[in-house]
Amino acid sequence: MLAPVSDQTIYDISHVIQLSVAPVFLLTAIGTILGVMSNRLARIVDRARALNERLEDSHENRVQAIHAEMSTLAQRRRMINFAITFGTTAALLVCVSIATVFLGAVMRASVAMAVASLFILAMTAFVVALVCFLREVLLAVRSLHLA
């Protein structure tokens, strides 16, 4: 049988929801960045496929240039994969920290250290994701050959 809900319980739950709003906005930001990263990965894959098709019909001098570009694309793919992995990890850690806040409120347990640790880990993962993303962008810019 369900226990009656007191005014204090409703206040506690509403307070926990208020505490969860900021991390939810953070999740939105992380999701947006992950979308950008996924689009960049798709562009890398599309370019690699196009180069692979050109490889069969190319002359010997062009083959070396195609292999060099494919090598750069492989480096970029690796960087963006790391960025997506760490970004996703950050999002998951934020979700776990929100769930921990709610569990702590429901169980009336002190979860401050756990939530703080999860948030620090999430921010660390997000920073690593952004550094990997920046590295991929710099690789792309460096490999750009403008006429």
**pLDDT tens for the chain, residues 1 to 147:** 555 656 666 667 777 777 778 888 999 999 999 999 999 999 999 999 999 988 888 788 888 889 999 999 999 999 999 999 999 999 999 999 999 988 888 888 999 999 999 999 999 999 999 999 999 999 999 988 754
What is the chain's length?
A: 147
* pLDDT number for residue 138: 96
Helices (H) and strands (E) in the chain, counts: 3, 0
* Residues whose CB is less than 8 angstroms from the CB of residue 50 and which lie 6 or more positions away in sequence, other chains included: none
Alpha carbons within 13 A on the beta-carbon side of 25:
5
Pairwise CA distance, residues 105 & 103, whole Å: 5
* pLDDT number for residue 147: 43
Instruction: Give pTM, 2 decimals.
Output: 0.84
* Residues whose CB is less than 8 angstroms from the CB of residue 64 and which lie 6 or more positions away in sequence, other chains included: none
* Residues whose CB is less than 8 angstroms from the CB of residue 102 and which lie 6 or more positions away in sequence, other chains included: 16, 20
Q: Mapping DSSP to helix (H, G, I), strand (E, B) and coil, where does residue 109 land? A: coil
**Under the phi-then-psi rule, with left for phi > 0, alpha for psi from -120 to 50, and beta for the rest, what region is 103?**
alpha
CA max distance for the chain: 80
Cα-only R_g, the chain: 23
